[in-house]
Amino acid sequence: MKNMFTYNLEEVVTLQKYFRVYVRYFLILVVIILLQSCYLGLEYSPYSTEVDYENLNKENIARIKALESKSNNYRIALIADTHRFYTETEKAINILNAQKDLDFVFILGDITDIGLLWEYNIAYEIFSKLDYPFIVIVGNHEFLGNGETIYKKMYGPLNFHFTFRGTEFICFNNNNWESGEPDWAWLEQTASSSNAAYKILLAHIDCSQVSERFNQTQVDTFNNIVKSYFDLVFHAHDHIYSMKQIDNVPRYHVGSPQNSIYVILEYNDHTHDFSVEPCTF
Amino acid sequence: MYILRNNWNILFTILIISLLFFLAYENFAHGQPKEQQWYFPDCFSAQTGGYIGFIAIGVGFLSSNNIWESTVFYGYCPANVTGKVIHTISWKNILYPFTFDFSYNNLIKQLYLGVTMFYVMDKNVYWEESTNCPDRYYNPTGRHIALSVGIQMEGRSKMMELKHGFYIEITMLDTYMKAYLWDDNDYLNFEDCASMAIGYKIIFN
């Protein structure tokens, strides 16, 4: 019987040839794997909705509610429209971190440019450097592509609310071109059912005046709800800071890091006063 | 019927790619001169990564001097990889400015530059203007360009009696490149913006 490990010269030469070929392909494979794991990843599609982090708003609201205080005073920072102004946003975050007396931070939408997962991930990478909990409200740019799906997975519902130290914060999606008619009934029902002493509305786009986005009916609906229930309103979208008063309700536009601006909202429980201060950096 | 009615463009692309592949293989197997059937593809490619799919298959045409290659891919991403099923049709153009010949085992290494245009077929994206917004309010979200640089290694397969090869490339999407190059972002690094693609190719000549 022939020994299975015995080969003639021709077989040895053939085996050596195949071995060389396989070694070559093996080395190529090793290089590919090393490159992939050490340096660059394979990105299958920029339209992926496979997120690494889920329900961040819910998680951060839990952190906010867990903050302890002897009084109902609070100090909150608001920034918006970070888009792809990554360097400026990181600068704003560093400045906010240097202020040791903030309770949490609102980011009033438009954290992406075309709603790509890559943009969401870079934005999260920067926001997660905050020493404070942060809440992200949906902006019109978040709806582009598969952005809405990513927002819902990563941050949660488009409309949500929570109470913090006696104030109801209501975060409302009013990006009508991108996601259809705003849910006015939800807004009114949420505001009317809250027993909080104060109510603050946060919505990305200002719909207090007739514009190319909002008609008279929508504006009237919005203003009636605001007049009936809210003490303060914050918007973003136009990247600049501004303030106006309609029906005795102050309405602020939070600026963008693009214009080196953010806003600090402070509530004093002794005087029952709100102060809103624009800060440049 | 539902699949046929709603994904006709995807099925049509797969059908065309399959047809061209079999035509090319038949043409190659029968040894007919390439010049007489200019419309038969010169290569068949399968790729993963590079934004065009978890698995992308395509047929390509080579210029007569073999320095330019044009390939049409259909790319598929399953829901368990990208969160939802994504179909992509892409058109990849490659220029081979440098070719290094190695006499050993007919191995050829080629450095190439590539431009890929791709369209995503999804109800959430649009290729031209969005119908909900005023003109030019947003740029089209469903089409992109990616630039790539890669290395291709070709050899002649004795088993199949035709040329085949591997390629590996570094590629960058226009959106990421814009953020990296023009938005004056010190924050982003090259590795934040670039991706990799790996592919296998059969060449019918």
CB-nearest partner of B183 from A50, A84, A144: A84
**Chain A interface mutation, best of B135, B153, B164, B196, highest count of A Cβ atoms under 10 Å:** B196
Q: Is B60 exposed, middle or buried (0-12, 13-18, 19+ CB in 10 A)?
A: buried
Alpha carbon distances (Å) from A141 to A214, B39, B127, B177, B203: 17, 43, 17, 19, 44
Please state the domain extents for chain A.
1-42, 56-280
For residue A178, give the chain B residue with the closest CA: B132
Tokens 């509530």 sit on residue:
A267
Q: Give B49's contacts in chain A (Cβ within 8 Å).
A: 42-44
Digit-coded pLDDT (tens) for A22-36: 666 656 755 665 565
CATH for A56-280 (3.40.30.10, 3.60.21.10, 2.70.240.10, 3.40.109.10): 3.60.21.10
pLDDT for residue A37 is more than 80: no
CB of B154 closer than 8 Å to CB of B189 = no
Closest by Cα among A242, A259, A264 to A251: A242
Per-residue pLDDT of chain B (205 residues; tens, 9 = 90+): 444 445 556 666 666 666 666 666 666 666 554 555 667 788 899 999 999 999 999 999 988 888 899 999 999 999 988 999 999 999 999 998 766 665 455 566 677 899 999 998 877 776 666 667 777 788 778 889 999 988 888 877 666 667 888 888 889 999 999 888 876 667 888 888 888 899 999 887 6
Rounded to whole angstroms, how far apart are CA atoms A17 and B128?
55
Number of A/B CB contacts below 8 angstroms equals: 122
ipTM: 0.83
CB of A256 closer than 8 Å to CB of A85 = yes
Please state the domain extents for chain B.
2-203
CB contact under 8 A, A47 and B86: yes
Find residues 92-131 of chain A whose CB sits inside 8 Å of chain B.
113-116, 118, 122, 126
For residue A83, give the chain B residue with the closest CA: B179
Digit-coded pLDDT (tens) for A54-89: 999 999 999 999 997 878 999 999 999 999 899 999
Alpha carbon distances (Å) from A234 to A237, A252, A253, A264: 11, 5, 6, 12
Q: Which pair of tokens denotes residue A195?
A: 């027993």
Which residues on adjacent β-strands are paired with residue A134?
A105
Rounded to whole angstroms, how far apart are CA atoms A201 and A171?
6
CB contact under 8 A, A45 and B82: yes
